[in-house]
Amino acid sequence: MSTPTLSSSATREADRRIRGLRPPKPDVDPYSVHGTTIDAERRPDGKVERALTIFLAGAECPFTCSFCDLWKWTIDGPTPAGALPKQIEDVLNRLDAPHPDRLKLYNASNFFDTRAVPVTDLPTIAALTAPFAGVTVESHASTIGPHVAAFAHQVAGRLEVAIGLETIHPLAATQLNKRLELGRFDRAAGFLAEQGIDLRVFVLLGAPHVPIDESVAWTVRTVAYAVERGAAVVSIIPVRGGNGEMERLAALGAFTPPTLSQLEDALDACIGQASTVVTADLWDVDKIATCDVCRAARVDRLARLNGTGRAEPRIACSPCGAA
């Protein structure tokens, strides 16, 4: 199933503007991964898994979200058949035993878009995931359908699909150029639940067009929305600049980069969910402007909260007045 696209002139203009503001894209080899990590991840049952994430190179997502910085890790044109299995196999061949519990295949696009992941590669990819108890892929809500269930039956472990909900703020949600209505997200979440497929959700902190003094509150509301629809894991992601469009929006007063204190506020408000793991995404957290005296201690605290799900006091800092 190919990803549907919208043909409105406003959408096409937004796509052109966002793409036109981007800095040059680095050369990306579709036969080489651009990174891997192994991290400890808490699951709703309290188990802490070892999760291997493979950052795959492939076709760019067609949705051209205003906040996206993943396009730089994609290629021009569709993913060549056989490229993704080769990338995955190369990583697994270098992996020390024992295998981690979970394999996360993040392709900076939509796993169930046939332009990004050729249908002919799915059986091979499924076979490569056999050593893992859990498999996570990422895809836009509009790509979720029976073909997802078919892939879930092909993998030996339990499938989890990560979907970007981003924000339920009514204005901001229409301005992200994501082409995602809440009804579409709800139907995707419901389908995954019916098929016994886990749902992971990405939520933005500092989404453009959300007033800065309402940013944390709308993030917390969006997390609650995902929890109510059965999300197993929700990751709060601070919006990052650097793609040109975010700088344009900042100049217009429509975007203010989130602070470390806001990330702490959001996670503290969401910690302790009974059936959902809520974490703060700490990728590039050092780029968030904050006090150099207390930064390390505060980031370490967020990492502990991610791992335990238990509240703990904030870090106090006299120089900046934190906590």
CA-wise closest residue to 137 among 112, 100, 166, 120: 112
Give 8's pLDDT tier (boundaries 50, 70, 90): confident
Who contacts 266 (Cβ-Cβ below 8 Å, separation ≥6)?
205, 216, 219, 220, 223, 236, 280
Mean pLDDT of all residues belonging to the chain: 95
Burial class from Cβ neighbours inside 10 Å (0-12, 13-18, 19+) for residue 251 reads exposed
CA-wise closest residue to 258 among 214, 224, 296, 201: 214
Q: What distances in angstroms separate CA 302 from CA 183, 226, 263, 279, one per listed residue?
A: 32, 21, 9, 8
C-alpha span between 182 and 26 (Å, rounded): 34
323: pLDDT strictly greater than 70 = no
Complete edge-to-edge strand list for the sheet that includes strand 198-205: 35-42, 48-55, 102-106, 134-138, 158-166, 198-205, 233-238, 277-280
Sign of CA dihedral 266, 269, 272, 276: negative
Give 4's pLDDT tier (boundaries 50, 70, 90): very low
Looking at 2-6, 97-101, 113-117, which range is the least confident one? Answer: 2-6
Would you say 178 and 142 are in contact if contact means Cβ atoms under 8 Å apart?
no
Could you read off the pLDDT of 208-228 as tens digits, one per residue? 999 999 999 999 999 999 999
ω into residue 98 within 30 of 0, thus cis? yes
Residue 268 confidence (pLDDT): 98
Would you say 100 and 50 are in contact if contact means Cβ atoms under 8 Å apart?
yes
- Kindly state the DSSP code that residue 175 receives in the 8-state scheme: H
Helix axes 146-154, 182-194, angle to 10 degrees: 40
pTM for the full model? 0.95
9-308 belongs to CATH 3.20.20.70: yes
9-25: average pLDDT: 93
